[in-house]
Amino acid sequence: MLGLRTNCYILFLLVLISFTKLDAQVNSDSLKQLLNTTKADSSKIKIYGQLFNALRESSPDEAEVFAIKGIKLAEKTKDKKGEARLCHNLGTFYYLKANYPVALNYSLIALGIREEMGDSINLVKSLNNVGLIYYEENNFPEALKYHNKSIALKIKLGDKLGLASSYGNVGNVYFKQANQKNSDSLYNVCAEFHNKARVIQEEFAKKTPDNINNLVGLSATYNNLGNVAFEKSILNPDNELLSQAVDYHYKALEIQLKIGDERGIAHSYINIGGIHERLRKTESAISNYENALVYALKTDDKESLKACYDGLSNTYERAGDYKKGLYYHKLHTRIKDSIWDESKTEQLAEMQTKYEADKKSKEIELLNKNQILHENELERQTLLRNSFIVGSILLVALVLILFNRYRIKSLSSKKLEEQNAIIGEKNKEITDSIKYAKRIQEAILPPQTYIDSLIPENFIYYKPKDIVSGDFYWVDNIGDKIYIAAVDCTGHGVPGAFISIVGFNLLKHAIHEHGKTIPGDILNQVNIDLSESLRQSFTDSTVKDGMDISLCCYDLKNSTLQYAGANNSIYIVSKNEQNEGVLKEIKADKHPIGIFLGEDFKPFTNHTIQLNKGDIIYQFTDGFADQFGGPLGKKFKYRPFEDLLVNISQSPAKEQKNILSESHETWKGLNEQVDDILVLGVRV
């Protein structure tokens, strides 16, 4: 049944429309002209926000660039209110694109600023958005935490209509949990919150019957209550519950017909049809599915079309009309495959396009140069042959031939200049695209403020070789446990960056979707998911990439460390009785994550270490030790790297980072940086 997820989405949009719909009407061309003539930074920040809202649907890439420029200018000028507004809108932008890690990053920045400013009205919006993002990631404790904060603040502000929206959001969280656990008690809790929302919304509907926002919310609440009654009837077969579910969906349908909510109408007809199908009311079920089909086709709502075709197929099959059942089954399969293909394609489409553009541009450059050389060679041979044939003809003819040769060379030279100009422009576009990819990659990395809030004494020395990096770090926490990973993906630059984005998401999914909490189990899950994502189980796969990784789990309560590694060891430096630093290496398993072509998966070993106060743990990739330099131009190597870490281990974390940077630059000298560099330090 479609009702619940769709209605949650509608409630979220209501929050957005309340502060973006006026700006979206402004003409983007006039705003760009105004931006060029405006000198005041505060005015420019507002125009950047207006441009983002005006372009976010018609030209999302351009809109994103304006938002980021506005955020940077707001940071520079310390315009906290403008920075929070732009970060909030950009978080919403990424939420709608289902890029939840980046959406969460920007939304938390906006939340922090608004908390610091005491901006209660806008703080409610940020709390709501953060809760919805955690809901999409199935992080139910965090989702409830932020929705409950929103409820407390709305009660304080007297925002009753907003309070109904938050009650609905909390109800949706419990509904999702109840579905996963088949829990009747959780469905009851869910119903309590939706009924709280219903009471408020029905009261508003009596006072202001034409309030569209409230009517949309009320229809959503009726649908949600119908869904709860339906699911409870499955756990506890009861026709009275089914009848109650139908009543709620008809109430939702009545409102949706009144306000012309065509998508909502389709969803309600589908829900009613599903219940009648369960009650074996064949004709009524078919009638409702067919009504839904009219609106689903009209709005091109593929999820609704899929549900209509599936319902009609099942209903006709139960009625014994196998011909129609098969017909709608084929339509259901076709649109389901279409939705899957679209979802699969969109995940890496943007960065894949940029990579292909880089590759094709270089191929075009080589082909163009070869073509020009080939054409010049043909022209030269033709000219020589013609000169030999007519060599004995009049001098006038020879002069004409020489003139023709000069003209051809001039044209070839001009053509070559034009080709070089095109190639130069293409190279600039590719470089700009890669720089844009760098901003995306930096946005995905956990903010330093977030890391400092978990472990105050830390440093991160991160120095990509190229614009984008194949190395990345990842930080997350669950309760008293903090997870930190240092990861080195195969290669560097654009190819390494692709794998890094895949790896970042797989680490998060291993914990929050697969429920893995032990580092060894997490790496085993990432290993499986990466190989499946890159189709590395097939011997003809051309993707032979993977990751080296050290993954640590700090248990703050018990002061213990769990660690698992793929080719990347860790160092722990402790003090001995003489107050000197002593380094201990915890070795990794000697095989990577990924690059399994026909081989069996090898599990990763989990290590548990008891930590002492003052211990410092170092995680790193191989870039620092592999750097060429020094008087003989040799590698830095691991033994000097270990000695350097022991020598700096007693210094403050931020000072250690500066020492590592100075040591690397001094050793490198005039040599080129050979690889991405990442060194992390965490003191217990």
651-660: pLDDT as tens digits: 999 999 999 9
26 pLDDT above the threshold of 50: no
CATH number where 674 lies = 3.60.40.10
CB neighbourhood size of 72 (10 A): 14
End-of-domain residue from the set 441, 470, 488: 441
Tell whether 515 and 434 lie within a shared domain. no
How large is the average pLDDT for residues 4-30?
A: 43
Average the pLDDT over 77-94 and give the result: 93
| Alpha helix (H) residue ranges in 488-615 | 493-512, 519-533
Are 545 and 675 contained in the same domain? yes
- 167-to-143, 192, 438, 455, 583 alpha-carbon distances in Å: 12, 9, 39, 34, 54
Within its chain, how far is the Cα of 488 from the centroid?
20
CB-based contacts of 596-603 (< 8 A; 24+ apart in sequence) = 596/527, 596/531, 596/536, 596/537, 597/536, 597/537, 597/538, 597/539, 597/541, 597/544, 598/537, 598/539, 601/524, 601/527, 601/528, 601/531, 603/520, 603/524
Q: What is the mean pLDDT of residues 647-653?
A: 92
Q: Say which amino acid occupies 124.
A: V
- The more confident residue out of 360 and 269 is 269
Q: Is the pLDDT of residue 511 over 60?
A: yes
Q: Does pLDDT of 177 surpass 50? A: yes
Are 561 and 668 within one domain? yes
Both 491 and 424 in a single domain? no
Claim to verify: residue 388 and residue 431 sit in the same structural domain? yes
Confidence of residue 311 (pLDDT cuts 50, 70, 90): very high
Any domain includes 235: no
Domain boundary among 117, 137, 157: 137
pLDDT (0 to 100) of residue 351: 38
- Is residue 84 a part of any domain in this protein? yes
Residue 410 and residue 500 share a domain: no
Bridge partners of 477? 482
- Residue by residue, what is the 3-state secondary structure of 367-381? HHHHHHHHHHHHHHH
Which of the listed ranges 134-148, 390-404, 489-503, 588-602 does the model predict with the highest average pLDDT?
134-148
- Taking residue 76's Cβ as centre, other Cβ atoms within 10 Å add up to 11
- pLDDT band (50, 70, 90) for residue 577: confident
Rounded distance between C-alpha atoms, residue 296 and residue 308, angstroms: 8
- Output the pLDDT for position 380: 65
Same domain, yes or no: 624 and 575 = yes
Is the per-residue pLDDT at 235 higher than 60? Answer: yes
482/540 same-domain check:
yes
Q: Pick the last residue of a domain from 420, 441, 462.
A: 441
> Is 322 within the bounds of a domain?
no
Given a cut of 50, whether residue 542 has pLDDT beyond it is no
Residue 631 lies in a domain: yes
Backbone angles phi, psi at 559, to 5 degrees: 55, 45
pLDDT mean over 107-118: 93
Domain tally, the chain: 3
Residues 500 and 373 in one domain: no
Domain match, 429 and 455 both: no
In a domain, 232, yes or no: no
- For residue 291, being part of any structural domain is answered with no
Of all residues in the chain, what percent carry a pLDDT higher than 90? 45
Structural domain contains residue 158? no
| Segment holding 301, helix H or strand E | none
pLDDT digits (tens, 9 = 90+) for 404-447: 777 777 676 677 777 777 777 766 766 666 666 677 777 778 88
Specify if 651 maps to a domain: yes
At residue 68, the pLDDT reads 93
- Examine the domain organization and report whether 63 and 103 are in the same domain: yes
How far is it, in rounded angstroms, from Cα 266 to Cα 300?
11
* CATH number for the domain that contains residue 30: 1.25.40.10
pLDDT of 96 higher than 90 = no
Q: Structural domain of residue 419, as residue ranges?
A: 351-441
At 415 the pLDDT is: 73
Answer yes or no: do 595 and 568 share one domain.
yes
Average pLDDT, the chain: 83
> In 304-316, which positions are buried (b, 16+ CB within 10 angstroms) versus exposed (e)?
bbbbbbbbbbbbb
Whether 373 shows a pLDDT value over 60: the answer reads no
Read off the amino acid at residue 515.
Answer: G
